Amino acid sequence: EAEALSTLNHNNIVRFHNCWVADKGGHLDNSDDSCSTSHSGSSSNSPGKYLYIQMELCEAKTLENLIYDWNEVSPQNSKRRKEALDIALQIISAVKYIHSKMLIHRDLKPANIMFGPDGVVKIGDFGLVTEDNDDDAEDQIQRSKGRGTLSYMAPEQSEMTYDRKVDVFSSGLIFFELFWEIKTVHEKDKLMGLRVKAHL
């Protein structure tokens, strides 16, 4: 995650600042002053060692919270549609950039989309990010099955070969939630649950 974030520089992606290996109390590991994947990976797997990642500050409220508030307090209206369109366009810009870096997020969902203090959309949580292969490659990369959040996963994520289109699928589900008023959590669970069952 730290390695992927360090290569990304886009207004709609949570900005990576620094990372370090430390103990549970946050005390630095003096044997490691870098954040290289090979070194920190071995140190962070040592007993009592953790990888800390310092990222851009975002608001506590996520897109998931915003959608819930919209559905609770206000009916469908032109203001919501305008705000939803603005958010959707920012998500599209970020996903397009991630894919241009030959990466797949694999866990796009409203809970992983945050906002900066100025209200700008920030995609975060790159814990499941993976490399994508070139469009001209004859064979797709073999991947781990079932990585992501089940209710937002593309059907092909249950297989071992898939590409960046899985992020497009997840984005489509997010846009559905943005633009369509779902009155209750039960209704959302029912809609998403039916989709999940169709997967299995």
Residue 56 reports pLDDT greater than 90? no
Per-residue pLDDT, 195: 55
State the Cα angle at 138 between 134 and 144, rounded to 5°: 70
Structure confidence at residue 5 as a pLDDT band (50, 70, 90)? confident
Question: What does the radius of gyration of the chain's CA atoms come to, in whole angstroms?
Answer: 19
Catalogue the active-site residues.
Answer: 107
Per-residue pLDDT, 170: 94
Per-residue pLDDT, 8: 87
User: What are the boundaries of each domain within the chain?
Assistant: 2-55, 63-199
Per-residue pLDDT, 39: 40
Query: Count of residues for the chain?
Result: 200
Mean pLDDT of 107-112: 95
Helix 165-179 to helix 63-73 angle, to the nearest 10 degrees?
Answer: 30
CATH of 63-199, one of 1.20.120.160, 3.90.480.20, 1.10.510.10, 1.10.10.10: 1.10.510.10
CB atoms near residue 156 (< 10 Å): 16
Which residue has tokens 């920190």?
40
Instruction: Output the average pLDDT for the chain.
Output: 80
**CA–CA gap between residue 79 and residue 123 (Å, rounded):** 23
Per-residue pLDDT, 42: 43
Burial class from Cβ neighbours inside 10 Å (0-12, 13-18, 19+) for residue 91 reads buried
pLDDT digits (tens, 9 = 90+) for 112-141: 999 999 999 999 998 888 888 765 555 556
Distances (CA, A) of 136 to 77, 120, 133, 140: 44, 34, 8, 10
Structure confidence at residue 45 as a pLDDT band (50, 70, 90)? low
Burial class from Cβ neighbours inside 10 Å (0-12, 13-18, 19+) for residue 145 reads exposed
Amino acid at 11: N
Mean pLDDT of 7-19: 87
Per-residue pLDDT, 37: 44
